[in-house]
Structure 1
Amino acid sequence: MTVSRDPASPAGPAHMPDGAAPGPADPAEVLAKLGRSWTWVLGSAVATLVPGILILVWPEETLHVVAVLLGLYLLVTGAFRFVEAFARDDHGERLPGLLLAVLYVLGGVLCLRNPLQTIAALSLIVGIVWVVSGILTLYTALAARDLPHRGFVLGIAVIGIVAGIVVLALPSESARALTRLLGLWLVLLGLAEVALALAWRAALRRAGIAGSHDPARTG
């Protein structure tokens, strides 16, 4: 999970000299503004929570359904990670976020490409994604010393690493047990991201710019 370095950093269009009208919006700036919005962070949390809840509520569903849910979760999360990467002001700090986006999309494609594969194969894909994602998020949190709510980001990174290790380390004799485990970890990760989204909203409100970073309140 990536958030902008400074809640008070301006996100609106730059004023042109001599009253000239501003040109077309820079796509990178549009993505950066969207990625800084707390509602975007909350959307990422919902994209993680919903598949986890569905897997826990319907553990008897076929492996095909589980594979589709996991594949869609990874693809949608990859899209969120791509946008969130642009919330970083330093272009060099965007690289971990972009790598995360590619990793999630690749994992989603692998899940959807063969939805009839075993639960062990699905666990392997998701476990690797979680471990690598957690490591990259941990690196981002430690490298960016002025990152807001560092504790929340570090917590999400640790949860992701632990979730990936547990899923990869457990034996695959019980498909139902692994399915429940995947659902449980998705719910825990989603709840952690909800906490981060609410903390980010509080930071924006303290800075007095909640409206300017919230696309839902623009026109």
Structure 2
Amino acid sequence: MTFAINVRQYPAELINMVRTTIIVTSILGIALGVAILVWPKATLHVAALLFGLSLIFTGLMRIYQAAVASFLSAGWRILLGVLGVAILAVGIVALFHPAESLYLLAVFIGVGWLMQGVGELFAIGSGAKHAPTALLVLSGIISIIAGVVMIAMPGLALVTFLWVGAIMLIAVSIASLFTLPKKVDATPE
């Protein structure tokens, strides 16, 4: 997190508060990154539990939407309700079997990347001009490969993401410490 601060425009208290915020968030980021590297299984377990809670919340919201979406036809409301119950059930199972829910999460991510890659490749054929064709092809191929790897080797993919994410969190947190604004004396002159 970098803040470009002109010391003459802001009160000393604000500048010092920004300094303190950067220092605290950087230290927490470093600590979290190290904790992830030291306890990867525990971190994945917590991620699985959070995924389960997220599914439960999403399922409940779908059920609620099915109940109150009077502008939808009965068929759509039933479909939304059934989807909500299914998501809720998967979320409950994920809470009681967190390790298996990680594989489900990996497969969801993998399928999403596959769909994204295929979509980008189809965008080329449809004449989309939102990005250069070469970048769409490259992005599509990388997304498809990443999706296949995630689906074929979900455990390895998740652990790799965890390690890379932890290392990047530590690096960004350390880099943020080098961007601190100079401490300003808060006493009036």
Fold shared per TM-score above 0.5 = no
Name the structure with the higher helix share.
2
- TM-score class, shorter-chain normalisation, is 0.3 to 0.5
TM-score scaled by length of structure 1 = 0.35
TM-score scaled by length of structure 2 = 0.39
